[in-house]
């Protein structure tokens, strides 16, 4: 299983030159799909635009999109996702809200006067599926289990297993609620890769309590408790330039040696 990040930034895109080495697009990542005609994606931040352009050059006809939640930085790329405009393409969304609610939220996003093409008039076939924490579902041979995260208005993470490899995505999450943290640790137990919200330094976090994001120290605590083989820090703060992220990574590696920093366009082997 391979994972490619198309967007790693939280809150808003950051096109500034000193933030482009790690990446300036908001959250979106692609997981190697079971078949050549399928794609599996987590979240629809601004990074999904470039992913969509690439998918147009592949024989992809079925696209599965796992949604952590509906905050703007996780859905803002939907109107620019080219495959959704193409007849013959099937797009399946998985979210923790009823299908009618999820569909209505995207319809509002593309309603007059925000966008010239209504969501209901896109060319692709679009289907919404409601998922629940602790209830596993399948995408082909891929097993997916959602779990709860601690974030304002709610969010979910995903444990994904394919051919014995385990990938866990846990963003957006604020550590510190014992029951929720324990659920992440269970989901990430022995995981080959854990992608974890680590927006802040421990010092920054003291003034951001309640904002729904963790520090790199909290992320390393969870990775160590879970026995994860590799941790990737994710959901980079828009105020952090590349040098700042370099230092965050170096400091995090002192706490958990197998730590990396999620980097846009880079492919990671799980």
> Sign (positive/negative) of CA torsion 162, 100, 103, 234?
negative
CB 148 within 8 A of CB 123: no
Query: Each residue of 199-214: pLDDT tens digit?
Result: 999 999 999 999 999 9
Q: Name the CATH topology of 2-269.
A: Metallo-beta-lactamase; Chain A (3.60.15)
The mean per-residue pLDDT over the stretch 157-164 comes to 96
Phi, psi of 11 (to 5 degrees): 75, -70
Query: What is the b/e burial string over 146-184, where b = at least 16 CB atoms within 10 angstroms of the residue's CB?
Result: bbbbbbeeebbbbbbbbeeebbbbbbbbbbeeeebbebb
Q: Which two tokens stand for residue 111?
A: 């309603």
Percentages (nearest 5) of helix, strand, coil residues in the chain: 30, 30, 45
Query: Each residue of 21-62: pLDDT tens digit?
Result: 999 999 999 999 777 799 999 999 999 999 999 999 999 999
pLDDT more than 70, % of the chain: 100
Q: Is the pLDDT of residue 100 over 90?
A: yes
Q: Is the pLDDT of residue 96 over 80?
A: yes
Q: pLDDT-derived band of residue 258, with 50, 70 and 90 as boundaries? A: very high
Report pLDDT for 226: 98
Q: Is the pLDDT of residue 244 over 90?
A: yes
Instruction: State the Cα–Cα distance between residues 40 and 139, nearest whole angstrom.
Output: 9
Alpha-carbon 34 to chain mean position: 19
Q: How many CA atoms lie within 13 A of 224 on its CB side?
A: 12
Average pLDDT over all residues of the chain: 97
CB 199 within 8 A of CB 22: no
Alpha-carbon 185 to chain mean position: 18
The mean per-residue pLDDT over the stretch 90-111 comes to 97
Report pLDDT for 34: 72
Residue 5 three-state SS? strand
The mean per-residue pLDDT over the stretch 150-158 comes to 98
CB 42 within 8 A of CB 28: yes
Domain extents in the chain? 2-269
Report pLDDT for 2: 95
Total Cβ atoms within 10 A of residue 80: 16
Q: Is the pLDDT of residue 191 over 80?
A: yes
Instruction: State the Cα–Cα distance between residues 27 and 10, nearest whole angstrom.
Output: 7
Place of tokens 């994972």: 3
| 62-66 and 90-95 strand pairing | parallel
Q: pLDDT-derived band of residue 99, with 50, 70 and 90 as boundaries? A: very high
Q: pLDDT-derived band of residue 259, with 50, 70 and 90 as boundaries? A: very high
pLDDT more than 90, % of the chain: 97
The mean per-residue pLDDT over the stretch 128-147 comes to 96
Alpha-carbon 43 to chain mean position: 5
């Amino acid at each position: 299983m391979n994972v490619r990040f198309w967007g790693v930034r939280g809150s808003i895109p950051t096109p500034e030159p000193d933030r482009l080495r790690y990446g300036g697009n908001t959250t979106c990542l692609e997981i190697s799909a079971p078949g050549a005609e399928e794609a599996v994606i987590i979240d629809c931040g601004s990074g999904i635009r470039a992913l969509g352009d690439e998918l147009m050059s592949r024989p992809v006809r079925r696209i599965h999109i796992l949604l952590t939640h509906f905050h703007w930085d996780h859905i803002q790329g939907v109107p620019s996702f080219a495959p959704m405009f193409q007849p013959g393409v099937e797009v399946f969304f998985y979210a923790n809200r009823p299908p009618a609610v999820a569909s209505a939220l995207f319809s509002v996003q593309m309603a007059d006067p925000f966008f010239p093409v209504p969501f209901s008039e896109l060319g692709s076939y679009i289907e919404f599926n409601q998922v629940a924490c602790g209830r596993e579902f399948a995408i082909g041979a891929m097993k997916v289990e959602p779990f709860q995260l601690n974030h304002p208005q709610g969010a979910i993470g995903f444990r994904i297993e394919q051919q014995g490899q385990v990938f866990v995505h846990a963003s957006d999450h604020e550590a510190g609620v014992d029951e929720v943290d324990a659920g992440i640790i269970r989901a990430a137990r022995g995981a080959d890769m854990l992608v974890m919200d680590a927006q802040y330094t421990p010092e920054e976090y003291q003034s951001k309590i309640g904002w729904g994001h963790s520090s790199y120290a909290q992320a390393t605590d969870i990775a160590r408790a879970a026995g994860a083989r590799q941790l990737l820090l994710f959901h980079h703060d828009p105020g952090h330039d590349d040098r700042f992220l370099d230092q965050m990574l170096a400091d995090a590696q002192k706490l958990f040696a197998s730590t990396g920093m999620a980097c846009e366009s880079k492919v990671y082997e799980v």
